[in-house]
Structure 1
Amino acid sequence: MQWELKHTNPIDKLGSGSNPLNKLTNVSAKDSLKLQNVEGNSMSLSPGELMLEKAASLPSLMAQPNFHSDDSLDSKTLQNQGSPGNNPVLDLPKILVVDDHAASRMTAVALLAMEGYEVIEADSGAMAVDLVKEKQPDLILLDVMMPGMDGFEVCQILKQNEHTRLIPVIFITALNDRRSRIRGIEVGADDFLTKPFDRLELIARVKSLVRQKHLNEDLDHAEQVLFSVAMAIESRDPNTGDHCERLQKLGQAFGEYLNLTRNQIKDLMWGGYLHDIGKVGIPDAVLLKKGKLTAEEWEIMRQHVVIGEKICQPLRSMRGVIPIIRHHHERWDGSGYPDGLKGEEIPYLAQVFQIIDIYDALTSERPYKRSFTSEEALTVMLEETDLGWRNPQLMQQFAEFIKTQTK
C-alpha cells in the first residue's frame, strides 16, 4: 500500500526556515516557454517591453514524495471487514493518537474507532513524527507531556514543514492548564481537549477539523493545477533559463526594500509564475510566430492577460495576484493594455512587477540578444520612464535598489 503526500505549495518559500523535515523536499527542474519575436510590430513596443514579451517563466514545483506504510502499526476498525472487493480503509479519515500513557491512548482509540475512523497509535513524540511522514494522517490527537520529545516540539516540527503543516493538531491538556494552552497556540495547535474525554466533544472537534483539512487540501490542489498549467505553457522554450526563479527572488528582495507586507511579497512572487498563464489560450500560430506580428495577431496576443485573469479568478487565494496578471502591461501615460489605465489607476503591485519583469528580461541572455548590464538596462528603463511609460518615483526607487544589490 502506498500513501501519497497530498499537499504541496510551490511558493511557500517565504517563511521556510530550517527544520528536520525539510530534507523531504525534492525541487523539480525548471523549464520555460518559447514566445515569438515581436520586434518591429506595428504596435510600437518599447525595447524593454520587447524583451518582456519574449521573456517567459516556469514555476518550480515541489515533487511529491511517496511514503510506504506498515499495516502492523494501524489500529483497525470494524469497518475494515467490508465486503469482498472493497477496501473501506482507503476512504476512512486517519487519526493519529499520540500519548505515552496506554490507558489514555486506548480510550481515545476506542471512541474514534466506534465512529468509523482509522486510528494509528504512537507512544512517543519521535514515533509520532515518523508515523506522520509515513501515514499522512488527517488529524493528530497529541498529548502535551511526554518524555523525550514532548507535544510542543512535535507540533512545532510538523507546522514548520510545508508537507505536514495542514494536518490539524488537537492538544490533550490537563484541566485549566493555561500555560500549556498558550504554549500550544504559539507552536500552532488547532484545538485543545481536556482529560477525561467527553465523547461528543471529541467527535465534534475531530469531525470539524478533518472537514477543514479537506477543504484546505482542495484549495492547495486547485492552486497546484494552475502552476502545472503554467509549466505546460512555458516548457516549450529552453532559452529563458531560470527567469521564473529570478523573478521570484527579485520580487521578494525589491518588495522587502519597499517595505511591502508579507502577503504583497507573496503576490509578487506568485505573479512571477502566473503572469503569463493566459497564453494557454493563444493559438500557437500567434504565440510561436517568428518575426513581427500583424495588427490582428497582436490584438489576439494582448488577450493573454484577460484570459489569465479568468483562469485564476475562481480562487480566492489569487485575489492579490490577479491585478498583476491583468495589468502588468499597462503604461503610466495610459497607452498600455488591456484597459488603458493611467497613473495611479494601475494597481501598485502591477507597477512593481512590471519593472522587475522588464529588468530581468533586459539583463538576461536570449538567442536574439546579449544580456544587458545593470547600467544598460536601467538606462533603457529610465528612458522609457521619461517617455511617460513608467511610474517615475517607483522607477527611481528601483534604480536605487539595484545599485544596493550590485555594490
Structure 2
Amino acid sequence: MTQWTSKSTGSVEKIVNVTNPLNADNSSNLNYTVTPPNAENYSLYLSQKDLNLEHTSALPSWNKSQVNFGYDSPLTKHLPGKGSVLNRSDSDAPKVLVVDDHPASRMTAAALLAMEGYEVIEADSGFSAVELVTQNQPDLILLDVMMPEMDGFEVCQLLKQDEHTRLIPIIFVTALNDRRSRIRGIEVGADDFLSKPFDRVELTARVKSLVRQKRLNEDLDHAEQVLFSIARAIESRDPNTGDHCERLVDLGRAFGKYLNLSRNQIRDLMWGGYLHDIGKVGIPDAVLLKTGGFTPEEWEVMRRHVLIGEKICQPLRSMRGVIPIIRHHHERWDGSGYPDGLKGDEIPYLAQVFQMIDIYDALISERPYKRALTPKEALTVMQEETAVGWRNPELMQKFAEFICNSKSSNNIL
C-alpha cells in the first residue's frame, strides 16, 4: 500500500511504502548495526587466553559495561507511531531523496521508487536538497544536473566534502550524455549516472545496489569509530599523557607530507597516532599505571600490548596499513626492540616513521617522572639513541631537518 503525504508549501513531498525491496533478496540481509565483522575480537572484556597474559590473572579494572565512549549511534531511530527505539535493519524502508526542479520528472522518479517500497523525499532545488540531507540523512540521492542557482555538480561536491554526508551515494540524472558532463560528475564524486527518460528496471537495480553498498560502508565506518573511541578511552586512563594521541595525529600528517608520502600512508600514520597503543586495553591497571620500575614479569606483560592491539584491529581491512605501526613501533634498528626483534629495513617503513614522532612527542612532554625537554634537547637525545643503533640514521636526519624547518616557520611548534 502506498501513502502520499504532502508537506506545507508543496516544495517538498514524501511518499512512503511499508515494503522494503531489499527484503526480496536474501543475500542482502545486512544487519545495520555497529557490530563489526568477527565481533568477538572487539570485546573490551577480552579473555586471558585472547590477551595471552599467562603471567597474570589480573584484568583491567574496567570493562565494557563501565565505559561510555560518547558514541551515540545514528543507526537507531524512532519509528512513527512506535514508543521504543529499534535498531535500524532491513525492515526499514530505505530513504531516497529525489532532487529535480521539474515537477513532472521529480514525481515520475518518486512514483517509481515508491512502488518499489522506498521512502521518498522530494526537493525542487539544490539549496533545499542540502537542507533536507542534513535533516533526513537519506540512504541515496537521485540528483538532477541542470538546475538554476545551485546545479547538481555543486550539490554533489558539497555533500561529498562533508564528513557527515560523504557516504551517501549520489546518482546523477540528466538528459546530457556528453563525455564532459560525465567526467565532471566523476570529479565531484558521483557514484552513478542515469539518463532521462527513466527505465524502471535500471533505476531500481542501481538504487538497490548502491543502498546495499552504503550500508556496508557505514558498518565499516562505524566499526572504525568504535576503535577510535576505545583508543581515546584508553588514553583517558592515564591523565599524564594529556593529548598525546592528538599531537601524534598532527605530527604524523605534517611529517608524512614532508616525506612526500602517499595520501594513504599519511592516513595510516594519522590513524596510528590514535591506535598505536590500543592494545593497552588488555594490560592490568596494576601494570599500566605503575609509577615505579617494572619487574621482569610486569615488563613482559606490558610488552604484549602491541600484540593485543594487532589482534583487535586485524579483522578490519581498512586497518591493514596501520597494523604494522601498532605491532612494530617498539622495534629498534639494531634488532634489540620488540616484539619480533626486527633489524634495519626489516622494520616496516611506516613503523620507523611513526617511532620518530612518538618518541619526540614523549620527550617534549612533561611527565611526573621527568620535565619536558626543549625541541633541541629532544633531538639530541634521539640522535644519541641513533648513534648507539636504535634508530634509522637516514630517517633521523630527515626528522631533525623537519623539526628545525617547522620550528623556524612556526608550522607545528
Asked if TM exceeds 0.5, the reply is: yes
- Does residue 276 (structure 1) correspond to residue 281 (structure 2)? The answer is no
Give how far 1:177 is off: 3.3
Cα distance in 2 for partners of 1:114, 1:106 equals 12
Give how far 1:269 is off: 0.6
Secondary structure (helix, strand or coil) at the match of 2:204 reads helix
In the other structure, the counterpart of 1:305 is: 306
Gaps of 5+ in 2: 1-31, 35-68, 409-413
Q: How does 1:45-84 map to 2 (within 5 A)?
A: none
Give how far 1:108 is off: 0.5
In the other structure, the counterpart of 1:286 is: 287
Higher relative contact order structure (alpha carbons within 8 Å, sequence separation ≥ 6): 1
Cα distance in 2 for partners of 1:7, 1:360 equals 37
Gaps of 5+ in 1: 1-5, 9-60, 72-79
- C-alpha deviations, 1:306-352, integer Å up to 9, x for none? 00000000000000000000000001010000000000000001011
Note if contact 2:71-2:229 (Cα within 8 Å) is conserved in structure 1: no
User: Which deviates more, 216-225 or 232-241?
Assistant: 232-241
In the other structure, the counterpart of 1:384 is: 385
Counterpart AA for 1:94: K
Secondary structure (helix, strand or coil) at the match of 1:181 reads helix
Give the structure-1-normalised TM-score: 0.78
Note if contact 2:353-2:395 (Cα within 8 Å) is conserved in structure 1: yes
Q: How does 1:189-228 map to 2 (within 5 A)?
A: 189-228=190-229
Q: How does 1:70-109 map to 2 (within 5 A)?
A: 91-109=92-110
Cα distance in 2 for partners of 1:284, 1:88 equals 38
Note if contact 1:173-1:181 (Cα within 8 Å) is conserved in structure 2: no
Secondary structure (helix, strand or coil) at the match of 2:292 reads coil
Give how far 1:367 is off: 2.2
Q: Could you say if the C-alpha distance between residues 321 and 243 of structure 1 is closer, same or farther in structure 2, counting changes exceeding 3 Å? A: same
Note if contact 1:7-1:220 (Cα within 8 Å) is conserved in structure 2: no
Cα distance in 2 for partners of 1:214, 1:88 equals 10
Cα distance in 2 for partners of 1:240, 1:81 equals 48
User: Which deviates more, 230-239 or 220-229?
Assistant: 230-239
Cα distance in 2 for partners of 1:204, 1:349 equals 42
Counterpart AA for 1:294: T
Counterpart AA for 1:253: A
- Does residue 118 (structure 1) correspond to residue 135 (structure 2)? The answer is no
Give how far 1:188 is off: 0.8
In the other structure, the counterpart of 1:246 is: 247
Give how far 1:252 is off: 1.1
Return structure 1 stretches of 4+ with deviation > 3 angstroms: 61-66, 85-90
Cα distance in 2 for partners of 1:172, 1:378 equals 57
Secondary structure (helix, strand or coil) at the match of 2:171 reads strand
Cα distance in 1 for partners of 2:261, 2:251 equals 13
In the other structure, the counterpart of 1:174 is: 175
Counterpart AA for 1:193: L
Counting matched residue pairs gives 337
- Does residue 149 (structure 1) correspond to residue 153 (structure 2)? The answer is no
Note if contact 1:96-1:122 (Cα within 8 Å) is conserved in structure 2: yes
Secondary structure (helix, strand or coil) at the match of 1:91 reads coil
Cα distance in 1 for partners of 2:92, 2:333 equals 54
Give how far 1:245 is off: 1.6
- C-alpha deviations, 1:222-274, integer Å up to 9, x for none? 10111111122121222222211211111111111111111111111110100
Cα distance in 2 for partners of 1:282, 1:88 equals 36
In the other structure, the counterpart of 1:127 is: 128
Secondary structure (helix, strand or coil) at the match of 1:264 reads helix
Give how far 1:111 is off: 0.6
Cα distance in 2 for partners of 1:306, 1:81 equals 49
Q: Could you say if the C-alpha distance between residues 321 and 340 of structure 1 is closer, same or farther in structure 2, counting changes exceeding 3 Å? A: same
Note if contact 1:96-1:137 (Cα within 8 Å) is conserved in structure 2: yes
User: Which deviates more, 304-313 or 238-247?
Assistant: 238-247
In the other structure, the counterpart of 1:51 is: none
User: Which deviates more, 349-358 or 232-241?
Assistant: 232-241
In the other structure, the counterpart of 1:233 is: 234
Q: CA RMSD in A?
A: 2.6
In the other structure, the counterpart of 2:38 is: none
Cα distance in 2 for partners of 1:65, 1:340 equals 41
Secondary structure (helix, strand or coil) at the match of 2:241 reads coil
Note if contact 1:173-1:180 (Cα within 8 Å) is conserved in structure 2: no
Give the structure-2-normalised TM-score: 0.77
Secondary structure (helix, strand or coil) at the match of 2:293 reads coil
Secondary structure (helix, strand or coil) at the match of 2:240 reads coil
Q: Could you say if the C-alpha distance between residues 154 and 7 of structure 1 is closer, same or farther in structure 2, counting changes exceeding 3 Å? A: farther
In the other structure, the counterpart of 1:406 is: 407
Cα distance in 1 for partners of 2:103, 2:121 equals 13
Give how far 1:81 is off: 11
- C-alpha deviations, 1:11-33, integer Å up to 9, x for none? xxxxxxxxxxxxxxxxxxxxxxx
In the other structure, the counterpart of 2:315 is: 314
Give how far 1:203 is off: 0.3
Note if contact 1:89-1:118 (Cα within 8 Å) is conserved in structure 2: no
Q: Could you say if the C-alpha distance between residues 81 and 63 of structure 1 is closer, same or farther in structure 2, counting changes exceeding 3 Å? A: closer
Secondary structure (helix, strand or coil) at the match of 1:235 reads helix
Secondary structure (helix, strand or coil) at the match of 2:172 reads strand
